[in-house]
Amino acid sequence: PNSLNLYISDEQQMIELGAVLADSSGLEGVIYLQGDLGAGKTTLSRGLVRSLGYTGAVKSPTYTLVEPYELERGAIYHFDLYRLADPEELEFLGVRDYLSGGALCLIEWPQRGEGWLPAADLEVRIEVSSPGRQLQLLANSPRGEQMLEAVQA
Ligand code: ADP
Ligand code: MG
């Protein structure tokens, strides 16, 4: 199957899911993170980045739009396009360089960059469902399917 629903009951579980996704991605590809403000997109991103050994703060790059993490095991580029006024601005951010391979790109608010972003290997849709979060994972490529399989294992 290329889609999976799961209930993630707290922040810690969200962080652990991030680690599974990072590992199974091979640190390459594109993950879209969808959901309202406060859904948990950055929390999941933090789990991915921290699983590579990064110990600093991982915040939503709301004003800078992208935060690069270049770590020993590989690179993660974390985008938050919430404040992107015009998708054409993505050209000036050097998105093409980030997306040219050899890195994992996490993109919050991908709908703001529609038409200017590469397709996602995996889409993660998050909804608040107190006390936790209901997630839908959609795989759009073999890499995405590999991530789904790892989550199910
Ligand atoms: P977003 O980036 O989508 O705006 P954040 O990642 O900043 O959202 O998370 C907002 C809040 O949701 C944080 O306080 C975080 O602890 C909480 N949170 C994240 N994931 C979960 C979860 N699975 N269950 C319960 N609370 C969560
Ligand atoms: Mg965020």
Select from 6, 9, 11, 83 the residue to mutate for testing ligand 1; criterion: most ligand atoms less than 8 Å from CB. Answer: 11
Ligand 1 proximity of 8 Cβ (cutoff 6 Å): yes
- Give the tens place of pLDDT for each residue, 56-67: 999 999 888 999
ipTM over 0.95: yes
Domain ranges for the chain, please list them.
Answer: 3-152
Ligand 1 proximity of 16 Cβ (cutoff 6 Å): no
22 has a pLDDT exceeding 90: yes
Residue nearest to atom 27 of ligand 1 (CA): 11
> Can you give the pLDDT at residue 90?
87
> Can you give the pLDDT at residue 49?
98
Rounded distance between C-alpha atoms, residue 66 and residue 80, angstroms:
6
SS3 assignment, position 3: strand
> Can you give the pLDDT at residue 81?
95
Ligand 1 proximity of 43 Cβ (cutoff 6 Å): yes
Query: Domain spanning 3-152: which CATH class is it, in words?
Result: alpha beta
Residues 6+ apart with CB under 8 A from 99: 30, 105, 117, 118
SS3 assignment, position 7: strand
119 has a pLDDT exceeding 90: yes
In angstroms, what is the span from residue 108 Cα to ligand 2's centroid? 7
Higher per-residue pLDDT: 122 or 89: 122
Atom number of ligand 1 nearest to Cα 33 = 3
Atom number of ligand 1 nearest to Cα 37 = 4
Rounded distance between C-alpha atoms, residue 126 and residue 33, angstroms:
8
Rounded distance between C-alpha atoms, residue 21 and residue 23, angstroms:
5
In angstroms, what is the span from residue 107 Cα to ligand 2's centroid? 10
